[in-house]
Chains A and B, each alone.
Chain A
Amino acid sequence: MVIRKLTMALVIALSFSLFFDFQIVRQSQAGEAPDFAQMVANGKLPPLEERLPENPLVVDFDAEGKTIGKYGGELRMLMGRAKDIGQITVYEYARLIGYDINIELVPDILESVDSVDDKEFTFKIRKGHRWSDGHLLTTEDFRYYWEDVIKDPELGRQGVPSAMLVEGEEPVFEIIDDLTFKYSWTKPNKSFLQALAGPSPVWIYLPAHYVKQFHAKYADPEKLAAMVKEANVDSWAALHTRKTRQRRPENPDMPTLQPWQNTTPPPAERFVFVRNPFFHRVDSEGNQLPYIDKLHVDIVSKDVIAAKTGSGESNLQARYIRFDNFTFLKESEEKHGFITNLWTTGKGSEYALYPNLNTKDPVWRGLMRDANFRRALSLAIDRDEINEVIYFGLASPSANTVLPQSPLFREEYREAWSYFDPDKANELLDAAGLGARDDDGVRLLPNGERAELTIESAGESTEETDVLELVAAQWKAIGIKAFVRASQRDIFRRRAAAGETPISVFFGLNNGVAAPTMSPEELAPVSPAQLQWPSWGEYYETGGKAGEPPDMPEAVELLDLFKEWKTSADVEEQTVVWHKMLDIFTDQAFSIGIVNNTRQPVVTSSNLRNVPEEGIYSWEPTSYFGIYRPDTFWFEE
């Protein structure tokens, strides 16, 4: 027995030592890009151990189903406007704290994030984490942002970002040591971490060592004046703003924490991003990421992007490609060596109709506020037909709500008034006081006019026009004559906000894969950009200075629930609130969803690895390719 125990111990010890040996071997092999190794050999770059933080972020390749890659290659992408280089920052997706592949928040740039009741957030920086120019990332970089930008009388004129305000209260910023700092509020700030993890996050840090040269407080006045003059701007503050943009990395000299750094000043037709030698992520074997040497972002007219992609001129493309390009892309796959996968769009509904409860026309306003009228409009839509005709049956008919991939999904939300039942719709319309019809079978409004409804659209796509054409035909069967009026994005918004639009069409919920910890703001009247209740939203956003207070009990309840969510104690409470809100939102048909789970073609070169075949393509929370980590993509020869 004793011997057996001993042998066991020996075996364990042996295997441990083997394991450690193995680890050590692995460590010494831990790789870096060949060109960096060369630079290290020439003494132009410190060795890898000094470039990585002591505790780098190890990406779990097994859990994410990825393969260890090889260094090298250039990733070509196409963009439609010069300012789309801001999109690269979304794809790169290095955030203080970010969503992982399961849409859960995990520290990324930061080593740890501790929150006490969502009131106190203690952040810890990875020791030895460096900017792309080799300077250490410290609390000074965060202090600079808070004290020298936000609190600066000149730079701070744009105010504290709204994610850092809780009912108007600013946080208290404290530095604990070189690597630890804290933001605290007296009330919970539920959306702070979410705002830091977003595709376009609140950038609460700046490379202080670099940007101080643009700040009047630190810079040499003469040099600064010369730079202001050279840049042809009005003040040092304008120069500071221009030189320190992080979402749009237009200044090639500005150090970054992202996997690639832009090297091309605008204007340019091609922006070249090169690998950041100090990037803080490694693969599960300890090789520094990213694998790919360079990104080439070519700016071309957005109308030729699908055609160019189809001729193999992009290695990774989804932006500016639409579902109706799919067959064309599939056809050219073999000839030009790429694969077209279909990802799921993360929107609550590909297109949704928004009855404007604040419309100026009193007759239509009355009808739009009648839940049964809205429900009737929803019931009259034959979603299966639209799905078959326009989406090859690949989408799913649904109300405008969360997708099955969301933990908050329930069948009843999807089904809410989204089945096809024209008889019931007719019944509801009769009950809503629209019983009378004229000779053409069009219903008559209470004031005797024909029920002719103009759906206003931003005119963004032909697909939208096709969907609306079907909807109009289907509504005709229940005696509502619909017209489509396509205008232009900002005119469309302006008209809807002014109440000149009785009903409009736009995308559904932006975040269709919401989790209880994410803000349910899209379900409550909180912003004038919301097309179904713009003036209630304006009332909330301006704190009652403009707009009108919501006066429908259901809308008031949604707003109250939203406020409850903001002060709720834990995830259970948040889940309860979310479900209540989804229930009201879908049952009241405040927006009329058509289909969701639509597909986005994603074109990848056939030798590009680690790009998942299926994914969720959405702005929030996946940052398009962001959570799938483009730094782990690599080219097989």
Chain B
Amino acid sequence: MLSYIIKRSLYMIPTLILISMLVFTLIELPPGDYFESYVAQLLASGETVDPQKIEFLRREYGFDLPPYQRYFKWVIGMVQGDFGYSFEYQLPVREVVGDRLWFTIFITFCTIIFTWLIAFPIGIYSATHQYSWGDYGLTFVGLLGLATPNFLLALVMMYFAKEYFGTSIGGLYDPEFIDQPMSWAKAMSILEHLWIPVIVIGTSGTAGMIRRVRANLLDELRKPYVTTARAKGMPEFRALIKYPFRMSLNFFIADIGSILPSVISGAEIVAIVLSLQTTGPLLISALQSQDMYLAGSFLMMLAFLTVIGVLISDIALAILDPRIRLAGGVSR
């Protein structure tokens, strides 16, 4: 087991190097650079631009160097914990991301719990009462959540929250708590705002989750061991939870790998519409303005978390399901 973990960890290194090259190339691909979009932005607001100053800035930030040199500068800095400099914010990337990371993790965590709380009972009910009215009805509601555009739902809910509960529009708390230390009142204000993104992001995830729980559970329920358990007089609920449900969770553990990156990227579009102080809008605006170190370091962080997430889910699967073998390819 230990050697498996070490081997898997070592595999991560070349994977990450490849990803870093890919990310850098992707960011370099669109024509122009940050300064070009900066100039365009100044012109759009009517400002004039001193061309020699832009030229100076370009040199100052090393944009006259060939791409490979810039790549190495970026990668070496990252290894040392320096994620580069955001041109847009004129600050080190680490400071820009700062608090937003914690808010994002918090929101996503709440959303995931919300999704599970809704999806598991419904999924189990649908599987055990297949093709009943309840199955159809609940699945319909879940699919409705999937089909409604998130941003629209966000706008509508924001409007009603303002109109009926007096919740301030957008953000994670009322404006008077900005830059205030955490307090009871601030925590309440956060809760007051939190339910909107949680429901909006959550509804889109529940439908998928319901279907997967239902399908996996249905597979298991038809297996002979369930029939045997029933024949032996095991109580219905126990016969459901003890084995079939556990077996149907494999997909769910394998899913952890993809949950981790979404924890820090959040749901970007919803976050923009709701003006949440999360990292998603940051990533999008960085990509738009070609703020390359901010965008690049961010994507690298996502890649790193994905790789870690996949590792964790592989290990967890191996532990939880004894049928899974560690060494593959031998029987071939």
Alpha-carbon separation in the docked complex, A460 to B273 (Å): 17
Is the pair B53, A304 in contact by a Cβ cutoff of 8 Å?
Answer: no
Check A541 against B51 for contact (C-beta < 8 Å): yes
Query: Given A157, A232, A238, A510, which contacts B82 in the complex, CB threshold below 8 Å?
Result: A232
Given A162-B52, A300-B171, A308-B168, are A460 and B88 also a contact pair (CB < 8 Å)? no
Residue B36 is within 8 A (CB to CB) of chain A in the complex: yes
> Is B78 engaged at the interface, CB distance under 8 Å to the other chain?
no
B53 touches A158 (CB 8 A): yes
Q: Are B44 and A458 interface neighbours, CB within 8 A?
A: yes
Q: Is A490 an interface residue (CB 8 A)?
A: yes
Chain B residues with Cβ under 8 A from A83's Cβ?
88-90
Interface residues of B in 28-83 (CB under 8 A from A): 30-32, 36-37, 39-41, 43-53, 56-57, 59-60, 82
Binds B, one of A109-117, A266-274, A447-455, A551-559: A266-274
Q: Which of A302-353 contact B (CB under 8 A)?
A: 303-304, 307-308, 311, 313
Q: Which residues of chain A (480-507) have a CB below 8 Å from chain B?
A: 488-494, 507
Contact A301 B56 (CB under 8 A): no
Q: Which residues of B contact A301 (CB under 8 A)?
A: 170, 272-275, 281
A489, B32: Cα distance in complex, Å: 11
Q: When each residue 84-101 of chain B gets 1 if its CB lies under 8 Å from chain A and 0 otherwise, what string results?
A: 000011111001101000
B241 within 8 Å of A by Cβ?
Answer: no
Complex contact B56–A159 (CB within 8 A): yes
Query: Chain A: interface secondary structure?
Result: loop
Inter-chain contact B179/A490, CB cutoff 8 Å = no
- Residues of A with C-beta under 8 A to B179: 264, 268-270
Q: Tell me the complex Cα distance, A266–B179, Å.
A: 12
A167 CA to B162 CA, complexed, in Å: 58
Partner of A232, one of B40, B60, B92, B273: B92
| A157 nearest in chain B by CB position | B56
How far is A264 from B179 in the complex, measured between Cα atoms in Å? 10
Query: Is A248 within 8 A of B53, CB to CB?
Result: no
Q: Are A313 and B169 in contact (CB under 8 A)?
A: yes
B37 partner residues in chain A, CB cutoff 8 A: 489-490
Q: Does A298 have its Cβ within 8 Å of any Cβ on chain B?
A: yes
Q: Max chain A CB contacts within 10 Å: which of B41, B90, B96, B162?
A: B90
Q: How far is the CA of A199 from the CA of B41 in the complex (A)?
A: 16
Given contacts A232-B92, A269-B179, A311-B162, contact A303 B273 (CB under 8 A): yes
Kindly state whether residue A398 has any CB partner on chain B within 8 Å.
no
Whether A489 contacts B92 by the Cβ 8 Å rule is: no
B111 interface residue (CB < 8 Å to A): no
Whether the Cβ atoms of B32 and A490 lie closer than 8 Å is yes
CB of A490 within 8 A of CB of B275, answer no
For residue B102, give the distance in angstroms from its CB to the closest CB of chain A: 14
A620 to B59, CA, bound (A): 30
Identify B98's interface contact among A76, A250, A267, A307, CB under 8 A. Answer: A267
- For chain A, which range describes its interface: under 10, 10 to 19, 20 to 34, or 35 or more residues? 35 or more
Establish whether residues B169 and A307, one from each chain, have CB atoms under 8 Å apart when the complex forms: yes
A488 contact set on B, CB distance < 8 A: 288
A161 vs B285: C-alpha distance when bound (angstroms): 30
B275 surroundings in chain A (CB, below 8 A): 300-301, 303-304
Q: Is A242 an interface residue (CB 8 A)?
A: yes
In the complex, residue of chain A having the shortest beta-carbon distance to the beta carbon of B56: A158
**A618 on the B face (CB < 8 A):** yes
**CB-based contact B43/A162 at 8 Å:** no
CB nearest neighbor in A for B179: A270
B277 close to chain A: CB less than 8 A: yes
- Distance from A626 Cβ to chain B, minimum over Cβ atoms (Å): 13
A529 within 8 A of B: yes
Q: Is A200 an interface residue (CB 8 A)?
A: yes
* Residues on A with beta carbons closer than 8 Å to the beta carbon of B319: none
Across the interface, do A159 and B52 meet the contact criterion of CB distance under 8 Å?
A: yes
Measured in the bound complex, the distance between the Cα atoms of B285 and A581 in whole Å is: 40
Interface residues of A in 354-395 (CB under 8 A from B): none
Q: How far is the CB of B84 from chain A (nearest CB, A)?
A: 11
- Across the interface, which residues of A come within 8 angstroms of B46, CB to CB? 507, 510, 618-620
Per-position contact with B for A140-157: 1 when CB-CB < 8 Å, else 0? 000000000000000001
* Interface residues as binary, A151-183 with B (CB distance below 8 Å gives 1, 0 otherwise): 000000111011000000000000000000000
Q: How far is the CA of A300 from the CA of B47 in the complex (A)?
A: 23
B252 to chain A, nearest CB (A): 33
A619 in contact with B169 given A267-B96, A270-B179 (CB within 8 Å): no
A268 to B178, CA, bound (A): 9
Provided the pairs A301-B170, A304-B275, A618-B46 are in contact, do residues A158 and B91 lie with their beta carbons within 8 angstroms?
no
Within the complex, which residue of B40, B48, B51, B175 is in contact with A490, where a contact is CB–CB below 8 Å?
B40
**A267–B86 CA distance with the chains assembled, in angstroms:** 11
Q: In the assembled complex, how far is the CB of residue B49 from the closest CB belonging to chain A, in whole angstroms? A: 7
**Residue-wise interface mask of A (219-251) relative to B, using a CB-CB cutoff of 8 A (1 in contact, 0 not):** 000000000000010000010001001001010
> Are A313 and B53 interface neighbours, CB within 8 A?
no
Is A196 close to B, CB under 8 A? no
B89 & A82 in contact (Cβ 8 Å cutoff) = yes
Q: Is the Cβ of B175 less than 8 Å from the Cβ of A313?
A: yes
Contact A494–B36 (Cβ < 8 Å) = yes
* Distance of A300 Cα from B271 Cα, bound (Å): 11
Bound-state Cα–Cα, A492 to B171, Å: 32
Is the pair B96, A161 in contact by a Cβ cutoff of 8 Å? Answer: no
Shortest B94–chain A CB gap in Å is 9
* Nearest CB in chain B to that of A202: its residue: B50
Q: Which residue from B95, B168, B175 sits with its C-beta under 8 Å from A267? A: B95
- Complexed CA–CA distance, A298 and B168 (Å): 13
State the CA gap A257–B50 with chains docked (Å).
24
In contact, B52 and A619 (Cβ under 8 angstroms) = no
Residues of A with C-beta under 8 A to B288: 488
In the complex where A83-B88, A200-B47 touch, is A270 in contact with B175 (Cβ < 8 A)?
yes
B99 nearest CB across to chain A (Å): 8
Cα A492 to Cα B39 in complex, Å, equals 12
Given contacts A266-B91, A308-B168, A311-B162, contact A298 B56 (CB under 8 A): no
Does the CB pair A266–B89 fall under 8 Å? yes
Contact B36 A619 (CB under 8 A): no
CA A308 to CA B171, docked complex, whole Å: 11
- The answer for the CA separation of A311 and B158 in the assembled complex, in Å, is 12
Of B30, B45, B50, B170, the residue contacting A304 (CB under 8 A) is B170
Contact B50 A489 (CB under 8 A): no
User: Is B43 a contact of A269 with CB atoms below 8 Å?
Assistant: no
> A81 to B282, alpha carbons, bound, how many Å?
10
Nearest chain-B residue to A521 (Cβ)?
B48
Residue of A nearest to B168 (CB): A313
Q: Which residue of B lies closest to A620 (CB)?
A: B46
Contact B32 A494 (CB under 8 A): yes
Q: Would you list which residues of chain A between 571 and 630 have a CB under 8 Å from chain B?
A: 618-620
Nearest residue, chain B, Cβ from A247: B47
Within 8 A of A (CB), among B259-287: 272-275, 277, 281, 285
CA distance A560 to B191 in the complex (A): 66
Chain B contacts of A76 at CB under 8 A?
175
**CA of A454 to CA of B199, assembled, Å:** 43
**Could you tell me which residues of chain B, from 158 to 187, have a CB within 8 Å of some CB in chain A?**
158, 162, 168-171, 175, 178-179
In the bound complex, what is the Cα–Cα distance between A161 and B48 (angstroms)?
12
- Known A266-B89, A267-B95, A268-B179; judge A303-B32 contact (CB<8 A): no
Residues of B within 8 A of A264 (CB): 179
The answer to whether A493 and B50 have CB atoms under 8 Å apart is: no
Residue of B nearest to A76 (CB): B175
A27 to chain B, nearest CB (A): 40
Query: 10 A-B pairs, CB-CB below 8 angstroms?
Result: A245-B90, A266-B90, A266-B91, A269-B277, A300-B275, A301-B273, A301-B281, A303-B273, A304-B275, A307-B170
Given contacts A83-B90, A200-B47, 16 further A-B contacts (CB under 8 A): A158-B57, A199-B47, A242-B90, A264-B179, A267-B96, A269-B277, A270-B178, A270-B179, A304-B274, A311-B162, A311-B169, A458-B44, A494-B32, A529-B39, A619-B45, A619-B46
Q: When A and B form their complex, which 5 residue pairs have the shortest distance between CB atoms, in order from nearest?
A: A619-B46, A301-B275, A158-B56, A270-B178, A490-B37
